[in-house]
Structure 1
Amino acid sequence: MERLMQYIWQHRLWMPADMKTVDGRRVQVLDPGRLNTDAGPDFFNAKVIIDGQKWAGDIEIHVRASDWHRHRHDHDPAYRSVILHVVARDDAAIQRPDGQTIPQMRMECDPGFHHSYTALVGHSASSSLPCASEIRSIENIHLHGWLDRLAFERLHAKADRIERLLRRTNGDWEEACFITLARALGFGVNSDPLERLAASIPLAAIGKHSDSPLSIEAMLLGQAGLIPPADTSSSDRYASLLRREYEFLAHKFSLTPLDNPGWKMARMRPANFPHRRIAFLSAMLLGGFKFMSAITSATGTEEILKIFNAPITGYWESHYHFGKESPGLPTMLSLSSKRILAINVAAPILYAWGTTHNLRRWQDAAVALLQDIPAESNSITSLFGSAGIKCTDAFTSQALIQLRREYCESRKCLYCRIGHRMLARKSIARNQ
């Protein structure tokens, strides 16, 4: 309720002409102030006129006036500059820390408006879209403007993750690319353990044995804790070779296997088993990992997709885990998988490179790549598709994923332009 009141105040959705304090003084709001998302009053630098006198300062909003005392604002110096206390229920008089009484005003929120808000937020994390009818009524120019903002928001977040990796790896772009690629190969289900795996092995150590598929796979699978122990792998010669090779390399490079990596394999297609994803990552490392140079020298989408063409060879051509042989397994990633890697690895890296070096052309290249790749097909794009949003490229599908994950599922309807428009229309209709 308090967040709704803040939203109403911020956007002037409730500003009757006869606003008065609880003791009858007339109030005129010149500027509602700037919303504060940290500690302290809810709005900074507001300007109001109370009984003919102009005040500049902060606004605090509570459901009950007594919350002022309950939150101990009367003892907090940060609230000395509060000039108006806005409440739904006037159940107590309040004072600043210096003892001065603060003007108080009731915000009588329309029950119907509150019901609309509750209905919207209460269903935002469900499988439906309570704002579907509103989406259909929004003009394309406004809707596309919001989707563009969301796509950049998601791209920025991914680029920020890469920049954090760069700080952890002392500015080593190839190392950051290696960890980013490993995470993306988890395709959501095993992303976290694959990222931990890549971060646990110095890329330089792998580079010293980049001519040996056995050594690379031994390091990765050994660190992952996926090589069977000696008493269970006697019948699998390759598992025995990997175990001996890992023991040697672990001693050489002071490697320690991941503790409880959390691999998921239940109800999963064999091609998605972590063993197979690690086999592909090993193929990408064979001959030396030069992902950064490859991606920055690529001249278009097709060349970027070719970077992910490393074939799985040897033992993993016919196995999806240790033990039983399964002939006929795919040795290359599917086109859809390569496109997902381009979306989640190539585009963010290009954008981060452009941001870090202040080179707009690389940021533009990242956007162009997303706009050239067909839209992802998943439950989220289908959900918004049923509401009338056409999704033809990955730039738009990434925007919809950002909208669903960061706004709908997080119940941040008040910060979504669609939700704001829906609530604002209802407020205007009730105030007319």
Structure 2
Amino acid sequence: MPDLFIFYLTHPAMNEHFLHHLWRFKLYQPGLYKTVKGEPIDIIHPGFHNTDAGPDFFNAKVKIGDTLWAGNIEIHQKSSDWHKHGHHTNRAFNNVILHVVTRHDREASTANGTIVPTWIMEIPPPLMAAYQQLKQSRHSIPCLHGIKQVDPFVISTWLERMMVEKLEIKVDLIQQLLKRYNNDWDEVLYVLLARNFGFGINADPFEQLARQTPWRVLLRNSDDLLRLEALLLGQAGFLTGLVAEEAYIQRLQKEYHHLRHKYGLSPMPAYHWKFLRLRPSNFPTIRLVQMAALFHKNRLSLDKIMKAPHTKTLSAMLNVSLEGYWLTHYRPEAPSPHKIKRLGPRSGDLIIINTLAPLVYGYGQLRDNERLKDLALHWLESIAPEENAIVNRWRNMDIRINSAFQTQALIHLTQKYCRPKRCLHCRLGHLILASHSSADR
């Protein structure tokens, strides 16, 4: 396997993870194993992977000759790496019972002078080739060709794990926001919802707006739609420096001037907002007045959201239409043809997917309420699949996709595992590699 070992040497970081994976799951070449000194070896238990400093695996069990040893395992490509890494002077490695390598070029000894038994782990050539193919793949999904051999049930269960993992990341973010906002769940809802109203391209400025415009100020003025529009548009910087000729914009400017001084507010620079290559219905100005209409109409709260039995109820809460001035404008002082501007059902679905479901799941997680966690998952399962480039790639690989639950899981899988090529940490990647090994598993 000379060519494959050249691949090893040019990718040392991947090599280490790969060797750990082989040892952990016993994917090495089957046979009768012997140390470099000819003593028979029986690997009873590989031990537990150590992600901190010290030996690679703890509490392993290995029989060498007639003696059963319990202790630690250290793994290297070359046995001389033991001395290169300074293990021969580090007492943390005194309890290593076996040195696992792919090439032996030097004896390993501990700080107390004991020679460590060394075993050369042979790798099945088909498995090595499969790993090389995954790591060198130029596809955004490296297992593009190998995934067809994976049981659909296994794929389904892994996607469930991916969805939960993604939600757990969201829970960590929610916890951070709760600390920042004194455990006010409704203010956290407001910040997350504002970010969602950016729908990707304007997510950051929307979040900045929410952080600069306190929830209590929004709440105190939620009974008046004009004030809400003035507050949000003014804080976004769209009313500052504008020489208005239209009466409605003049009213908004006057109202914002009053609110700004009353609450000591500071507007954002308007240049933070992006309009280029956006459809007019997605302009941040329209999204801002839609958000104002949403808080005016429904005065959204986490309590109301958690009482929604299904997504139809949530969609009804999110169903807002703009009236009056905004029927003929997408931006202040820029007339346009008359058009009804609703927060469409697809936009509503995205808000449920990205904000409401994660927030309810997070509340259930932090309050130990399984019913709410199940409710959030049920919402995701009841929403139609998203349509985007990532989802289409998986669909072209004959992966059955029936709901937003699955599309969110696939997006997480692609972004966190496939693109950074963390195939060894992926259940699907592991099974594809294992299928190329004849070792007992």
Alignment correspondent of 2:150: 138
Deviations, residues 410-429 of structure 1 (Å, cap 9, x unaligned): 21111222211111111128
Could you list the per-position Cα deviations for residues 52-84 of structure 1 after superposition, in whole angstroms to 9, with x for gaps in the alignment?
322222222222334334444445444343322
Match of 1:61 in 2: 75
Tell me by how many angstroms 1:17 deviates.
3.1
Q: Which moved more, 1:376-385 or 1:259-268?
A: 259-268
Query: What's the % identity of the aligned pairs?
Result: 38
Q: Deviations over 1:335-381 (max 9, x none)?
A: 11111111112211221222222222212211221121111122222
For residue 11 of structure 1, report the CA deviation from its aligned partner.
0.6
Q: Which residue of 2 aligns with 1:169?
A: 181
User: Normalised by the size of structure 2, how large is the TM-score?
Assistant: 0.86
1:227 to 2:238 alignment: yes
User: Aligned partner of 2:238: which letter?
Assistant: I
Secondary structure of the corresponding residue to residue 330 of structure 2: coil
Please show how residues 209-288 of structure 1 align to structure 2 within 5 Å. Answer: 209-224=221-236, 226-227=237-238, 229-230=240-241, 233-235=243-245, 242=252, 245-258=255-268, 262-286=272-296
1:155 corresponding residue in structure 2: 167
- CA gap 1:49/1:206 in 2 versus in 1, 3 angstroms: same
Letter paired with 1:53? T
Q: Equivalents in 2 of 1:377, 1:77: separation in Å?
A: 56
Report deviation, 1:269: 1.8
CA apart distance, 1:164: 2.9
1:24 is aligned to 38
Q: 1:16 to 1:247 in 2, by over 3 A?
A: same
2:126 and 2:437 in contact (8 A); partners too: no
**Structure 2 unaligned residues grouped into runs of 5+:** 1-14
- The aligned counterpart of 1:108 is 122
Q: 1:420 aligned to 2:433?
A: no
Q: Could you tell me how far 1:262 is from its partner in structure 2? A: 4.8
Aligned amino acid, residue 383 of structure 1? R
Q: 2:353 aligns with which of 325, 337, 343?
A: 343
Aligned length: 426
Within a 5 Å distance, the mapping from 1:31-430 to structure 2 comes to 31-123=45-137, 126-127=139-140, 129-224=141-236, 226-227=237-238, 229-230=240-241, 233-235=243-245, 242=252, 245-258=255-268, 262-286=272-296, 289-428=299-438
Higher mean alpha-carbon deviation, 179-188 vs 314-323, is at 314-323
Judged with a 3 Å threshold, the aligned counterparts in structure 2 of structure 1 residues 195 and 15 are, in CA distance, closer, same or farther, namely same
CA pair 83-292 structure 1, distance change in 2 beyond 3 A: same
In structure 2, relative to structure 1, the CA distance for the partners of 1:131 and 1:283 (3 Å cut) is same
Please list the CA deviations of residues 105-155 of structure 1 after superposition, one character each: whole Å capped at 9, or x if unmatched. Answer: 2223344422211211332x634x443444333333322222222222223
Is residue 135–residue 418 contact of structure 1 (8 Å, CA) maintained in 2? yes
Distance 1:4 1:255, change over 3 A: same
Instruction: From the superposition, tell whether residues 98 and 252 of structure 1 become closer, same or farther in structure 2 (CA, over 3 Å).
Output: farther
Structure 1 residue runs of 5 or longer lacking an equivalent are: none
Shift of 1:234: 4.9
AA at the equivalent of 1:93: E
Aligned residue type for 1:43:
F
- 8 Å CA contact 1:270–1:320 kept in 2: the answer is yes
Residue 47 of structure 1, CA deviation: 1.3
Alpha-carbon offset, residue 175 of structure 1: 0.7
